[in-house]
Amino acid sequence: MKFANGRTQPALEPQHSAGSSAASAALQQSPLLQQQATQLMAIRQGKQQQLQRRHLGGIVSQRMNLSDNITQLKRLSSGKLNVVGENHPESGRRRISEEVVSKRETDGGYWTEGEYRKGVDTRNLLSWIFTSDKRDRGDSSELLVEMNAATLADLADIWVNKATNYGSLTIDQKSEMRGAMPALYRFGNDAEVHNSRIQDDTKKKDNLVADVKILLTIVKAIAGGRDITTYSNLPTAISGVRGHLGGRSRAQISTERTSHMQTAAAFDAAKPGVWKVGQNHIDEWPVKSGPYEVLTRDEFNTEYGSELTDD
């Protein structure tokens, strides 16, 4: 380095503190210290690599999850029928917001499981007011009569042993059985309602409904703790109902309902809108895409859940 007067400053040597020099000399003279220092460096390097792997793994995991989500996301399609799974109580609480979202996304209609009818309603305003809709239902009324009857019989069958041995029950056991009976009423009532919706008299389930009423009368007697002598007729009443079902279980009848829904959806594939059905039917649906769309409850909730609020 030159100064203004032309003299040159000698190059400065690197400066080391006394402590640093002493530590370096001790490290060079002690094999044990050298070994410990090497181990410490290896540990530090290992920790850094581990943290790097965790970080990269987290990024990869996040990207994989994001990729999976992108693959799994499914939206409602405009201009065609969308059959969408639901939990009935959940959707029942937010029916209005579901309808708003569905109509917006599909430029079409919105129907609950029991509301949907095949084809287009061709009635004009006047006939719409004064005449009933003659179109076939997407969810078979005949099968609904049978499924509700089967459910009533299955639930009543749980109590056959106690009902036929009523005299030997404790007060608590009698109270328990009486308290369980009202939950069965709706299945008998629903069977009758669905039968009334069958428009073709040749397809009505009048004989089945008559035996459902007999069974329901005994169930109501048990609930009220009266007509005890009729309790022994419970097994016969259950058999009477099941005799109309051709040996089919409730689950089998439910699967038949799913098949009927599939036929209706295929017929109406180009009808824009959303038809909400129980998720159990979507679980049985063999094809999830085609001329119409099929969405699960989870797919619908994932995509639109933030907009769905209780009515």
Q: Quick: pLDDT tens for 260-310.
A: 999 999 999 999 999 999 999 999 998 776 799 999 999 999 999 999 999
Residue 193 lies in a domain: yes
Are 152 and 86 within one domain?
Answer: no
Residue 172 lies in a domain: yes
CA–CA gap between residue 299 and residue 200 (Å, rounded): 37
Confidence category of residue 37, pLDDT binned at 50, 70, 90: low
Residue 129 lies in a domain: no
Lowest mean pLDDT among 28-42, 63-77, 216-230, 236-250: 28-42
Q: Which of 113, 102, 112 is nearest to 75 (CA)?
A: 102
Element containing residue 3 per DSSP (H, E): none
169-209 tens-digit pLDDT: 999 999 999 999 999 999 999 999 999 999 999 999 999 99
In DSSP notation, 228-253 reads GGGGGGHHHHHHHHHTTTTT--HHHH
Model confidence, pTM: 0.73
CA–CA gap between residue 86 and residue 280 (Å, rounded): 9
State the pLDDT at residue 35.
57
Are 149 and 240 within one domain?
Answer: yes
CA–CA gap between residue 95 and residue 99 (Å, rounded): 6
Are 162 and 218 within one domain?
Answer: yes
Q: Which of 246, 152, 151, 138 is nearest to 197 (CA)?
A: 138
Residue type, 28: Q
Are 175 and 219 within one domain?
Answer: yes
In DSSP notation, 67-122 reads HHHHHH-----TTSEEEEEE-HHHHHHTHHHHHHHHHHHHSSEEE-TTT-BSS---
Are 146 and 241 within one domain?
Answer: yes
Q: Is the dihedral of CA 241, 245, 248, 249 positive or negative?
A: negative
State the pLDDT at residue 2.
41
Residue 52 lies in a domain: no
Are 164 and 246 within one domain?
Answer: yes
Token match 């109509």: residue? Answer: 103
The distance of Cα 204 from the centroid of its chain, to the nearest Å, equals 32
Q: What average pLDDT does the segment 133-142 reach?
A: 92
Residue 21 lies in a domain: no
User: 295: which residues sit within 8 A by CB, 6+ positions away?
Assistant: 74, 76, 82, 83, 84, 85, 282
Q: What average pLDDT does the segment 51-71 reach?
A: 41
The more confidently predicted of residues 263 and 55 is 263
Are 147 and 237 within one domain?
Answer: yes
Are 221 and 279 within one domain?
Answer: no
Residue 203 lies in a domain: yes
Burial 229-242 (b: 16+ CB within 10 A, else e): eebebbeebbebbb
Residue 218 lies in a domain: yes
Token match 């109902």: residue? Answer: 241
Helix (H, G, I), strand (E, B) or coil at 295: strand
Helices (H) and strands (E) in the chain, counts: 14, 4
Helix (H, G, I), strand (E, B) or coil at 66: helix
Q: Which of 115, 107, 127 is nearest to 264 (CA)?
A: 115
Are 240 and 184 within one domain?
Answer: yes
User: 211: which residues sit within 8 A by CB, 6+ positions away?
Assistant: 149, 237, 240, 241, 243, 244
Q: What percent of the chain has pLDDT over 70?
A: 76
State the pLDDT at residue 73.
67
State the pLDDT at residue 69.
42
Q: What percent of the chain has pLDDT over 90?
A: 68
State the pLDDT at residue 30.
53
Q: Which of 171, 170, 157 is nearest to 218 (CA)?
A: 157
Domain count, the chain: 2
Are 297 and 208 within one domain?
Answer: no
CA–CA gap between residue 182 and residue 173 (Å, rounded): 16
Are 145 and 239 within one domain?
Answer: yes
Give the residue numbers spanning the domain of 289: 81-108+272-307
Angle, helices 206-224/141-157, rounded to nearest 10 degrees: 30
Are 205 and 245 within one domain?
Answer: yes
Residue 58 lies in a domain: no
